[in-house]
Structure 1
């Protein structure tokens, strides 16, 4: 196992991202259509937040009690900025896989945006780390 392998070796570089002008409905569609769980929120090239499938499920949870139309109403009444995680931790593409694993294992999130010179270049998830570990054996 390489102790100094950079995160760029395991990250996904074809990142689906959204910006603040988009709707939560668009985010929900992207997550479902692309079979992803995390979406970085960007302003230009800068990462300013993160939305997850779980964030959207929290909004739509009330559906189980109130009916299907409520999710649509909630998506229309809330903005990405109101729902996204703002206190974001990012990593650089040259940070080591060990550094990333340490960050993820000591926090309650499961994905990190990867940047290069402040620009979003990828995303790394706990699944990426598990796959990397499996490949080592």
Structure 2
């Protein structure tokens, strides 16, 4: 079985120039924990996760001079992870599982070059393996 058979093709993306507060709202509305980040050409440029948002908020809260308005101007590109682990849609589910495990991540962005085709999570892979 290949990744193309289990990947989610409905991928919500955010632009790298979006504000963090808008991203947080999208995550809450869509009930998702990570969003691929695209540039102005709609090419993959990073990923932002709930963990990134928690880390950012924690950094601000630890600052004695914390001003709630400071976080309002922070953009996605300032906190996103730029090195994204990707996979091709023709790769086997087993290979995708190994990639997730070896990189200690929860999802892989499925790409064709820099264009996003889908996303496959550890849950998707586990379900596919167990349903075999």
TM class, shorter-length: 0.7 to 0.9
Superposed CA deviations along residues 67-115 of structure 1, whole A, max 9, x for unmatched, are xx956532x2422112111111211111111111111000122111101
Q: Distance in 2 between matches of 1:109 and 1:32?
A: 21
Q: Distance in 2 between matches of 1:51 and 1:104?
A: 17
Q: Distance in 2 between matches of 1:64 and 1:112?
A: 31
Q: Which runs of 4+ in 1 moved over 6 A?
A: 63-66
Judge conservation of contact 2:3–2:92 (CA < 8 Å) in 1: yes
Give, in angstroms, the shift of residue 121 of structure 1. Answer: 1.1
Aligned residues: 129
TM-score (norm 2): 0.85
TM-score (norm 1): 0.82
Q: Distance in 2 between matches of 1:52 and 1:64?
A: 19
Partner residue, 1:106: 102
Residue 3 of structure 2 is aligned to residue 7 of structure 1:
yes
Partner residue, 1:58: 55
1:94 to 1:58, Cα distance in 2 relative to 1, 3 A:
same
